[in-house]
Structure formats: structure tokens, C-alpha cells
Amino acid sequence: MSAVAFLNARLVCPVQGEREGGLLVRDGAVEAFGTVAVPDGAAVVDCGGKHLAPGIVDLGVFAIDRAAFRAGGIVRVGLMPDQSPPLDDPGVVQRASLIGKPDLWIHPIAAATRGLKGEELAELAFCRSAGAKAAGTGARWIADSNVMRRVLLYARDLDMAVVSHPEDGGLTAGAVATEGETATRLGLPAAPAVAEALAVARDLLLAEETGARLHLRQVTTAAAFDLVRAAKRRGVRVTCGVGPAHLFLSDIALSGFRSFAHLSPPLRDEADRQACLAAVADGTVDVIHSGHQPKGPEAKRLPFADSEAGAAGAETLLALALALWRDGRVTLPRLFALLASQPARVLGLDAGTLEPGKPADLLLFHADAPWRVDAEVYAGMAGNTPFDGLPVQGRALRLWKGGREVI
């Protein structure tokens, strides 16, 4: 592959910070950052003063949606095990890891238990050899503590993180909302927010006892964040993530029975939403993800309690995440640590920065480009977004995977 020089850029790197300058890419990897000499015969990309950052690593998507990922600046995804069939077999894992290349790299999260039933351990060692980058409980919690402990021990010995969905299923069974004024007014089946903290506490104690790496895919309550902070201070190997919906929406968004706001975990009250923002600002949150889960009208155009949980989040991930920077809650390098380098680290990938020697996974974006979220004209598979109609800023302009432009 010939060299490519990216010039006149506003560079953003989680490790090397921000600066104006250029980037030299050769053979699919970054060769120089900042001040670069353009080699003879190199292709030149004029970035026009726009931001050039690492491509987004979206940890925990439920569907492969190339158009949505391209629109959102995403070059790598951690695919959740909730597929058909579940990612509990090495052959299925291997197929999933290969179907996106070269433009999209899919990093499967293997099912921690067979069929995601929370009972019998899956063959994680074989799944790891087939391309799995983590083990996951899927969109549910493993209620049996002995099974979860065995999963953590197995994953620890394989140096894989366990991606957990922390909600106590005994409390959340049949619920579609969080207990509170909104759920009561709408008459929706609801569960107490403490269901999350109970699950987080159990998983943290088991991770501490086993020495395993634990990633709590979605933490959304003040009580759970307090537990994570305390565990990190004790040296527990824990990371946690959150999505834009829980950062920018409270359960008031359910008003009018808007099924696009039916999520898992459900939207919380305003105090918990503010706790999510505080956890991003103070460094408790390690990953911001889209939780991309496109659903068609047959799943969403139903009475709220009968609709399926989930949102199409990939296309709005960049724009909504940039709002955190625009509001002064994080710097741009910190934001791309949350979007790229730290999710890559959870998956054991040496990617997500613009350091020399790293893969040239690049995102050129216009931070101030205004647009309005419109579910009817989404590029991806479906437009079931709770942000429908919201004015936002920030557009992905061009995308490169390993130095090769994604068209």
C-alpha cells in the first residue's frame, strides 16, 4: 500500500492530545503524527482544517449495520452474543469475525453460557481461538452466582473481559420502565432502579474475588456508579460504559407512550441522568457506546408495554457524544478515549489512537455541522431512535480502515 499524507488537519488523539498538523500513513499504519514530510508518490488528503481522530470502536452492538456504522464514524464493533444463533460456538464466532472485512472489523463477544441461558458454560477457549475478544452475558444477567463465578474464572485464565448486563432479573422481570412518577402516571409495568445496583454489587464482589476483568456494559444509576468508584479504588479490574440515551434523556421521554424510548435498561429519573453525566466527567465511565439495536415498525409501532426494547444508536453516536465536549464536560482527547482507545482496550485490541505504529483507522469529521435527527431518513437498517427530531451538531465526513477509505 502506498503512503497517504493527511494534511491541514486538527488532530485529536487520546494519547498525544490535540494539535494542528498532519498524519502520515504507510502500509495501513500511522507512521508520523504532527509535522510530516510528504514522501514522493504519496497520495495527499487535504483535511480542510477539520478534525481527524481515531475511528470509533463501538463496544456492544446487537446488529451489523454497515451503513449506520459508516454514517456514525465507526470502524470496529464489539458484537453482542445475542444473535441467531447465539455466539456460543466457534464456527459461528469465526463467521461473525470475518464478514465485515476489510471495511469493518467485527470483534465477537462470545456467549458466556450456552444459548445465553445462564446455566452451562460455553467453550470460551475455542471461541477465543475463533476470534472472540470477550465473553458476555448478553442482554440479560446471570442470576446463578456460582455460574457467574465460573465464567469469571474461565475468562480470567483466557485473559478475556466478561461483559455483563447488570440488572437483577428477579426484580426486572416483565418491567418496561423504572419505578417512579412517570411509570405510575402511564400505568407501565416498572422495576426499582436498585435492580441495577444489586447486580453490580454481586458482579463486582465476584470480580474482586476471582481477579477477573469485568466490563459493566451499561451503568445508569447513581447507586451503581458509587459501587464502581469504590471498587476501582480497591483495585478491582472493572470498567463500565454508558450510552447517549441515558446521558441525555430521563424517563420523561416515555411520555406519550413513545416506544422509541423503550430501552434496556429503561430510562431513569433526572437524578440518575445527572449521575451519568457526572460519572463521565470524573472518569468513572470508561466507554461510551451506541448499544445499536435497530428495530422495525413491527417491533416498535405497538403499545409501549408490547414493544421491544432497543434503539438504533450508531448514526447519532458521534454527534451526541460531541455534545459532551461542547458542554465542557470532557476534552476531545478524553472523548475519543471513551469512544475509541478504551473500548479497544476492553476488547484487547491495540488500536484507537493516532500513535505511530497503530492501525490507521481514521475519522475525519466536521464538529460543528448542524443537522436534525430524522428517523425516516436513517442510512441504516431502521430509525428507532429516541432522539427523533433533535437538532444536533457533528458529522462524519470520511472514514478509513487500515489506511483504506471506507466508501
**CATH (domain of 25):** 2.30.40.10
Question: Does 378 have pLDDT greater than 70?
Answer: yes
Q: Assess if residue 332 is contained within a domain.
A: yes
Q: Assess if residue 360 is contained within a domain.
A: no
Q: Percentage of residues in the chain with pLDDT exceeding 90? A: 98
Q: Same domain for 146 and 219?
A: yes
Q: Same domain for 32 and 174?
A: no
Reported as a pLDDT band with limits 50, 70 and 90, residue 2 is: confident
Average pLDDT of 193-219?
98
C-alpha cell at 234: 480497591
Q: Same domain for 13 and 85?
A: no
User: Cα separations (Å) of 80 from 133, 267, 322?
Assistant: 11, 21, 25
90 sits in which H/E element: helix 90-98
Residue with cell 405510575: 184
Amino acid identity at 57: V
Mean pLDDT, rounded, of the chain: 97
Cα(293)–Cα(220) distance, integer angstroms: 18
Residue 392 burial (CB < 10 Å; 0-12/13-18/19+)? Answer: middle
Query: How many domains are contained in the chain?
Result: 2
Reported as a pLDDT band with limits 50, 70 and 90, residue 43 is: very high
Average pLDDT of 373-378?
94
- Whether 343 and 289 have beta carbons less than 8 Å apart is answered as yes
Reported as a pLDDT band with limits 50, 70 and 90, residue 188 is: very high
Q: Same domain for 195 and 64?
A: yes
Q: Same domain for 33 and 106?
A: no
Q: Estimate the share of the chain in helix, then strand, then coil, as percent rounded to the nearest 5.
A: 35, 25, 40
pLDDT at residue 1 in the model: 59
Of 36-45, 70-79, 231-240, 396-405, which gets the smallest average pLDDT?
36-45
Q: Same domain for 311 and 399?
A: no
**CATH (domain of 237):** 3.20.20.140
pLDDT at residue 152 in the model: 98
Q: Percentage of residues in the chain with pLDDT exceeding 70? A: 100
Range of the domain at 134: 54-354+368-392
Q: Same domain for 173 and 26?
A: no
Reported as a pLDDT band with limits 50, 70 and 90, residue 58 is: very high
Average pLDDT of 37-63?
96
Reported as a pLDDT band with limits 50, 70 and 90, residue 119 is: very high
Q: Assess if residue 182 is contained within a domain.
A: yes
pTM for the model stands at 0.96
Q: Same domain for 38 and 61?
A: no
Q: Same domain for 58 and 41?
A: no
pLDDT per residue as tens digits for the range 147-184: 999 999 999 999 999 999 999 999 999 999 999 999 99
Collect all residues with Cβ–Cβ distance below 8 Å to 71 and sequence separation of at least 6.
314, 315, 379, 380, 396
Q: Same domain for 260 and 301?
A: yes
Q: Same domain for 63 and 38?
A: no
Q: Same domain for 204 and 298?
A: yes
pLDDT per residue as tens digits for the range 321-362: 999 999 999 999 999 999 999 999 999 999 999 999 999 999
Reported as a pLDDT band with limits 50, 70 and 90, residue 44 is: very high
CA atoms within 13 A on the CB side of 33: 24
The answer to whether the peptide bond before residue 189 is cis (omega within 30 degrees of 0) is: no
